[in-house]
Amino acid sequence: MKCGIVGPPLAGKTTLFNILTGSSFSDQYGGSKRELRRGVAHLADPRLEAVARVTGSAKITPAAVEYIDVPGVTSEKQHPEVSGYPPHYLSELRTADMLALLLREFKDDRIPHQTGSIDTARDLIDATLEFIISDHAIAERRLKKLAKTQDKASQREEELLERCRDALDSETALREFDFKEEEKKILSPYSFLSLKPLLVVVNVDEETAPRTGDLLDRLRSSTDQVTKNVGWVAVAAGIEEEICNLEEDDRREFLDELGFKLPALDRIIEATFSLLGLITFLTSNEKETHAWAIPAGSSAVQAARTVHEDFARGFIRAEVCRWDELVEAGSSARLREMGKMRLEGKKYIIQDGDLLDIRFNV
Ligand SMILES: Nc1nc2c(ncn2[C@@H]2O[C@H](COP(=O)(O)OP(=O)(O)OP(=O)(O)O)[C@@H](O)[C@H]2O)c(=O)[nH]1
Ligand SMILES: [Mg+2]
């Protein structure tokens, strides 16, 4: 799972990236470094320790989300003379599964705003337009090539791309459409950015933090251009980065004051799982207990592929149990005696919290 963090300059993207990945980069305002950063967030999961105690694992590996922190560019809508994202940022973003769009709501006179005012609804539309423009160029280029070919498959692709191009022409992001499975397959090689699920993250100050519910509702209803495949979440990145560096006990108190039930990392991950429809399954042996994130509705063989291509290729069957039933039983042998260990085939649909032992032969 890979997520690109995007948004206008000085919105707090690197600050959020630090919170998520446990880094401590600091760019001076106005003169931020223009390099792209990569990092990994590990998802705290108390289930793993409980299972590892039963199976005697030497190591615990939580599910991970990879983040790319992309420096902000001034929007082409506000400043048409500048040319948006450089191509190598865009090609990096195309490899992501989703985008997190950070918008600045916090007030701080020391930190300049690209348009001189705080307006998250405007910034949201401007930022999504950047990706619409880039997708439009790709669709146009491909359509020119397709015009020269005649076969049936190309024709289907051409029709679909024309629909996309027309939507992009009217500044509609492709994620607003419910494409059929076969259409998604055709579009997949283009890695359209405006098709990627979008998590809108509003960066508020301490005063606004306790009232973010209303704020997000207002932002959501301010636009009919961002309605599908989108999630909404608020952070107070500045203060929450400081909270991360406090002792455990103090963290709780500060979070309470901000009105947040969970730390920023957990809230972002929760919103991400709900946006992408992800669940986690576990694998565990004496070497390692490992959590893996997959889309809900995935089959056993798809889960096997997440662990290793060989597991999927040579898949025979999976021995499956519930993580909590194993913990309660105290051993796999006991669980087997109780008849709670199941043998499942390729098509079995994985449930959140399933513990899998994949049998394979290559
Ligand atoms: N007051 C306040 N300052 C913040 C907050 N979040 C970030 N900042 C500050 O705003 C400045 C810019 O933050 P960054 O995280 O570097 O912003 P960015 O979006 O990565 O900026 P670019 O990479 O240049 O596009 C830094 O000085 C941060 O400390 C916040 O919630 N409140
Ligand atoms: Mg930055």
- The interaxial angle of helices 264-276 and 237-244, nearest 10 deg, is 120
Separation of alpha carbons 84 and 324, rounded Å: 50
Separation of alpha carbons 95 and 97, rounded Å: 7
pLDDT at 28: 65
β-partners of residue 200 are 101, 232
Phi–psi pair at 347, nearest 5 degrees = -90, -5
Phi–psi pair at 44, nearest 5 degrees = -55, 130
Q: Is 127 in the pocket of ligand 1 (CB under 6 A)?
A: no
Q: Tokens at residue 96, please?
A: 């992501």
Q: Is 15 in the pocket of ligand 1 (CB under 6 A)?
A: yes
β-partners of residue 354 are 322
Separation of alpha carbons 13 and 124, rounded Å: 14
pLDDT at 68: 97
CA of 215 relative to ligand 2 center, distance in Å:
24
Which domains are assigned to the chain?
A: 2-276 (3.40.50.300), 297-360 (3.10.20.30)
Q: Which of 272, 205, 172 is nearest to 15 (CA)?
A: 205
Which protein residue's CA is at the shortest distance from atom 21 of ligand 1? 10
pLDDT at 138: 96
Q: What is the pLDDT along the chain (362 residues), one digit of tens a residue?
A: 999 999 999 999 999 999 999 998 887 655 556 789 999 999 989 999 999 999 999 999 999 999 999 999 887 777 777 768 889 999 999 999 999 999 999 999 999 888 789 999 999 999 999 999 999 999 999 999 998 888 888 899 999 999 999 999 999 999 999 999 999 999 999 999 999 999 999 999 999 999 999 999 999 999 999 999 999 999 999 999 999 989 988 899 999 999 999 999 999 999 999 999 999 999 999 999 999 999 999 999 999 999 999 999 999 999 999 999 999 999 999 999 999 999 999 999 999 999 999 999 98
CA of 13 relative to ligand 1 center, distance in Å:
7
Q: Is 71 in the pocket of ligand 1 (CB under 6 A)?
A: yes
Q: Is 29 in the pocket of ligand 1 (CB under 6 A)?
A: yes
